[in-house]
Amino acid sequence: MKQPLNPEQVVNRLAKRRAKASESGPDCMLGREPSRRRGGSCSACTALEEFEIDRAVAQLINSLTFKRAGVCPYLVVASHLVAGFTVGPEAFRARSVGQYRVDPVMELKGALRHIRTVLRATGLSREDIEVIDNDGDRWKAFRAVLTAERASENALEFFGRQSDVKARRPPRGRTGALHIQAVARAMALAWRRLTARLPAKDNSKFHGLLLAAVATIFGHPAKEPDWESATKTAVERIKKDEASRG
């Protein structure tokens, strides 16, 4: 069974897609040629329906919601998602909330390197250390180091499994709200690029795009967020930020 990608892997995949297209991709023919029937793309499109967000974009192209000439909706959405999760203000705030003060996986790996340095210095194998029949303090210490190595390995395996699950699980609480807001802001900016306006109130099509974006990054939320509230907040903050720069 194929393992689901974690958020970082999804964003990296989208970033590679964007970079590849900018290097050699053909010009988008959307809006420059007759609409294709239920094609979800233009005749020059090389985009694959890899993620749920891609399927949502295809539906919006088919419904003629996205039809700006020469603007590829797949790349616009991917670009804004990548930017939102790397340099966006909500993503920055989310990274500063609810995190470990230290990374346990990194610290344990560092501890294991030091422990193994000590064990190598004995010139003996782990089996030799275990069977040495000597109750001197020095050999007791080496056996304790060997026990510490095994305990650290077990802890590292546990933290690794825990990280894999948490990485795919939609975040909750304040961190979760900030992550949802990061997606909402990114999608609102993409929507404006593709429709020439920010999403209006009770825009069910935008809410569907937002759900698809969240599901692509984090998986489907167990409890669906208030998309209208997230949209309103994103639009208000975009306008406020732009007014302050203007």
> Which tens digit of pLDDT belongs to each residue from 136-177?
778 888 888 888 888 888 777 766 655 544 444 544 544 447
Tokens of 57: 């974009």
Contact (Cβ atoms closer than 8 angstroms) between residue 61 and residue 28: no
Q: Which of 11-20, 57-66, 123-132: highest mean pLDDT? A: 57-66
Contact (Cβ atoms closer than 8 angstroms) between residue 179 and residue 94: yes
Contact (Cβ atoms closer than 8 angstroms) between residue 209 and residue 60: yes
Tokens of 143: 């056996």
pLDDT(205) > 70: yes
Which distant-in-sequence residues (6+ apart) come within 8 Å of 45 by Cβ? 28, 29, 30, 72, 74
**Count of beta carbons in the 10 Å neighbourhood of residue 207:** 20
**Count of beta carbons in the 10 Å neighbourhood of residue 203:** 19
Average pLDDT over residues 184-192: 94
> Is the pTM value of this prediction over 0.95?
no
